[in-house]
Amino acid sequence: MKRTMIAHIGLPKAASTTIQKHFFPDHPEIEFLGLPFKSAVFEEIRNRMVYMDGLSYDIKKEYEKFTTELNRIPSEKKIFVWSDEALSWTRGADRILMCDRVKDVVGAQKIIMIIREQISSIYSHHAMDAFKSYETLKEKGNINAWIEAAQPFKNRGFHHLLYFSLIDLYVDKFGRENVGVFFFEDLQTNPRNFYSAISKFMGLTHSVKDLGSRNPSENVRRASRRIQQWAKLKNRYFPSLKLTRVMPGPMREVALRFMESGQRANIVIDEERMEILREFFAENNRKLQDKFGLPLSEKGYVV
C-alpha cells in the first residue's frame, strides 16, 4: 500500500505540543508515530537523529531500524506523521545533517513547519526558561539580562528564529511544493482555517471542524511574578537544581501552573535590546518574504 510520510519539524514554541496532542493523534486518517513516540525503538532512533554527530551516525543502519519498526505497525492508513520540533533546534546535531536524516531515514516526502513572530517567541522562551532554568543565570526573571546572555552575536542564542535558511534548506532538499510553512498567529486567530490549511497540504479529506475548534494552544507559558520570584530564589540558593530530574512530569506541570497564576509580571524588553533584535531578524524575514511570498508583514513580523 502506498503511504505518504510527513515530517513536522517545529519550530519550538510554535504550537508543536498543540498539534502533537490534539491534531495528529486525533485525526482518523493519520497514523501518528510521535512525539511522543509509539515505541522505544522510535525514541532511540529519534535521539540519535537529533544528537549524534555525522562521524558516528550510520544512515543505512538507521534506515533499516526505522523501516523494520515501521513495518510492525498494523495500519491501513495512508498518511504517516513523524513530529519533533528538536529537528529545527540549534542545540543538537547540525541542522543540515538532521535534514538529510529526515529524508533518508524517516523517508519524509512532505515537511510541515510552523513559524512564530520572533519577539513573541522570545517572550515565550523566556517564560519557560525562567521556570525550568536549564542554564545558570543570576537573574532568570529579568528578560533583558536573559537576552544579554543569549545575544545572537555571542552564542547563537536566537539563531533558530532565523527562519529563512532553514526553510530554504528544506525547499532545496524536498521541493517548494512539498514544504508547507504555516503561521502560529493563524492558529491563535482562526484555528479552524489553520487546521484546514494543514489538512489540505497533507492530502487529508476528513473534515477538521471538530479538531480545529478546541485546544487552540497548548503549553502556553504565562510570565508571572511568582515565576520571577522562583527564578531569583533558585539561582541564588539552588543554582544546580534541575526540576526535570527531581520532579515527575505531571507534578512539574502542576507546579508550573501555580507559578503562572497570580499577578502578571511586568516583563518588557528594553528599547536598546528590542532594536538589536529587530535589526537581527529584519533582513532574514525580508529574504523569506521575497523569495517564498510568505506574508510576514501582514502577520506583524519585522521586515
Q: What is the pTM of this model?
A: 0.80
Strand 30-34 relative to strand 79-83, pairing? parallel
pLDDT above 90 for 151: no
Looking at the domain that runs over 4-292, which CATH code has it been given?
Answer: 3.40.50.300
- Percentage of the chain surpassing pLDDT 90? 55
Q: Is a pLDDT exceeding 90 seen at residue 23?
A: yes
The stretch 21-25 carries a mean pLDDT of 93
Residue-wise pLDDT tens digits, 50-103: 999 999 999 999 999 999 999 999 888 999 999 999 999 887 789 999 999 999
- The answer to whether residue 48 scores a pLDDT higher than 80 is yes
| Domain boundaries of the chain, sorted by first residue | 4-292
Gap between the terminal Cα atoms of the chain? 45
Q: Which helix (H) or strand (E) holds 180?
A: strand 179-183
Contact yes or no for 184/116 (Cβ under 8 A):
yes
Query: pLDDT tens digit string along 228-266?
Result: 666 667 666 776 776 666 777 777 777 767 766 666 656
> Given pLDDT bands bounded at 50, 70 and 90, which one contains residue 210?
low
> 176 is written with which cell numbers?
517548494
pLDDT exceeds cutoff 90 at 30: yes
Q: For 20-23, which contacts have Cβ atoms below 8 Å and span 24 or more sequence positions?
A: 20/83, 21/215, 21/218, 22/211, 22/214, 22/215, 22/218, 23/195, 23/198, 23/211
DSSP structure class, residue 41:
H
Residue 226 C-beta-side C-alpha neighbours within 13 Å: 11
Query: 208: pLDDT confidence band, cut at 50, 70 and 90?
Result: low
Rounded CA Rg of the chain: 20
The C-alpha torsion from 158 through 159 and 163 to 166, rounded to 10°, is: -150
Instruction: Give the per-residue pLDDT at 262.
Output: 66
| Identity at 181, one-letter amino acid code | V
Q: What percent of the chain has pLDDT over 70?
A: 78
